[in-house]
Amino acid sequence: MSKVLDRLCAPGRKPVIEASAVAQLPHPPDVVNLAFELEICDKVTTNSKDGEKQSSSELQKIEFNERKTSRLSRIFDRVTGLAGTKYTFFLMLAALLIWAIVGGVTGATQTWQIVIQDASSIQCYISDTLLMRQQQNNSRNLLKLVCQLRSRNRTCKRLLQRVRQESINGSEPISPVQVNIDKDLVDAADLPVENWYDRICNYVVLAIGSLVSFVVYWAGIITWIALGPRLQWGNLWQLYINTATAVELTFTTVFLQNTRHRHTQYLEKCLQSIIKADNEMELRLRELTEDIDPNPTAIIPPDVVTKGNRAIDYYGAIMGSGAGVVISVIVFAVWIGIGPTMQWNSNWWLIIGTYTGLVGFVDGYVLRNDHFRANAFADVQLQTLADEDAVLCEMLGIPVLTETVAPKNSLHRRISQALGAFLSLPHAVLASLVVVVTVIIIASCMHWSETGQLICNTPTMIIEGFLLLVLIQAHHLSNESRRIQFKGILVRRLMINAQIERLRVNSSKVTLHDTSASPVDGAESVVV
């Protein structure tokens, strides 16, 4: 029973992230291996000291303390990645265009409006699940990378201490050098401009996430409310706003997935440059010292969370996993099964829209809460990495580098950040549950009539539509910050590499006087 209880409580439990970087050992020029850190490589390498061939996995492995993913999880991840591509985005735009054309031909009937509302609710429901998965994967991968970089920093610090003690004791301080930076990373606050599609998406992100967009959105809602008396506050009046918000929700959810996908691709390009420079940093120091000890293990313990946030994590883990898919399949199967009983009438069509709309409404707040906390935790870990980089810079006589200046803190940015932080509180998630329970009680009192279901859909769709605008803006702001941090990591490593290379050229090769010294602390674990 204890094992069953532990399994039931497992979803949402943040694991300990633990990893060690692959040791970059000196090799002849034709077999230099600069392995990409996010893949576990098991290649045959040659030790330049004795010429014996060894498996790199015998010297050092990257191991993360997480369970092996199931086939269902791997399929889920592939679907999540596919949902963020531009092809999916264009397909959704084409579907909206076809729907609009059909409405123009048929006269925008009530059935036409209900179709887009149901389709939008289902699509948003699925998108929220995929966004949750995408968010969790990106956060976990970033923390893995930080572990690997900190693992190598530990080794580089140890090797630098040996170099200073054995070879440069009493010499003049090493003067800092200037390093040329890759032109693609010069302006860290902008997206990489590759083609017309990226340029258009960049402008759309700025437009959707702007304060002007927020004002226009609520101006439209106020206008709709003002039309209530003329339309006698009837079902048609509610259908109008539901249709408008359904179109907005469909576009923003798919566009948010696409934006995250593009940003992830850009950051992966940055990571390749960072990892290459990081590998070279270790390799050059090992060439100086002929050291072959493995890199230590870096550990990032999970962040301490409140009971409220733990409950949110539990829900998010369920919805962003295969369990959420199974629940969705069961719900849709039941809905289709009761179709003949309800004679496929309007109420039957509205049922699935009501369910997915209410669940999607809560999911929007959960997504925002998880995004805010994951970014804050990642910022702490990246700052720790920056502090360790500063130690290496000081050891080499390089002035401690400051981060690139962030974009101006305008009124719009301050308002957006304050609004995003407020909507990310656990109390906001609790408030969304209160709203859902309230509209369910109202609809139950109205015997789940068409009007009752529209009352369930209308306020939740309005708030969810605005919440997605806030989420896009929040992602844009955090992406700017993340790029600045990544650029700082790369710049520091390029300067450290240049200084190590200068040291290698200007000094004779280090000869270790005491090879039988006590073991170094290469196998220790350093807790982040």
User: What pLDDT does 13 receive?
Assistant: 81
| 29 secondary structure, DSSP code | G
- 288 lies in a domain? yes
User: What pLDDT does 211 receive?
Assistant: 80
User: What pLDDT does 129 receive?
Assistant: 79
- 520 lies in a domain? no
- 9 lies in a domain? no
- 517 lies in a domain? no
Write the CB contacts of 251 (distance below 8 Å, at least 6 apart in sequence).
92, 93, 96
User: What pLDDT does 384 receive?
Assistant: 92
Domain count, the chain: 1
CA distances from 93 to 44, 96, 97, 106, 121 (A): 49, 5, 6, 20, 16
Q: What is the C-alpha separation between 125 and 460, in angstroms, rounded?
A: 13
- 220 lies in a domain? yes
Which residues in the chain show pLDDT less than 70?
27-73, 76, 166-195, 322, 400-412, 506-528
User: What pLDDT does 459 receive?
Assistant: 86
Write the CB contacts of 271 (distance below 8 Å, at least 6 apart in sequence).
38, 145, 486
Nearest CA-CA partner of 150 in 431, 528, 432: 528
CA-CA-CA-CA dihedral for 505, 511, 516, 518, to nearest 10: -40
Q: What is the C-alpha separation between 23 and 282, in angstroms, rounded?
A: 8
Its domain, for residue 279, covers: 70-170+183-505
Q: What are phi and psi of 39, to 5 degrees?
A: -120, 140
- 17 lies in a domain? no
Q: Give the chain's length.
A: 528
- 60 lies in a domain? no
Q: What is the C-alpha separation between 105 and 111, in angstroms, rounded?
A: 13
Per-residue pLDDT tens for 406-436?
555 666 677 777 877 888 888 899 999 999 9
Q: What is the C-alpha separation between 212 and 80, in angstroms, rounded?
A: 31
| 294 secondary structure, DSSP code | P
pTM beyond cutoff 0.85: no
- 3 lies in a domain? no
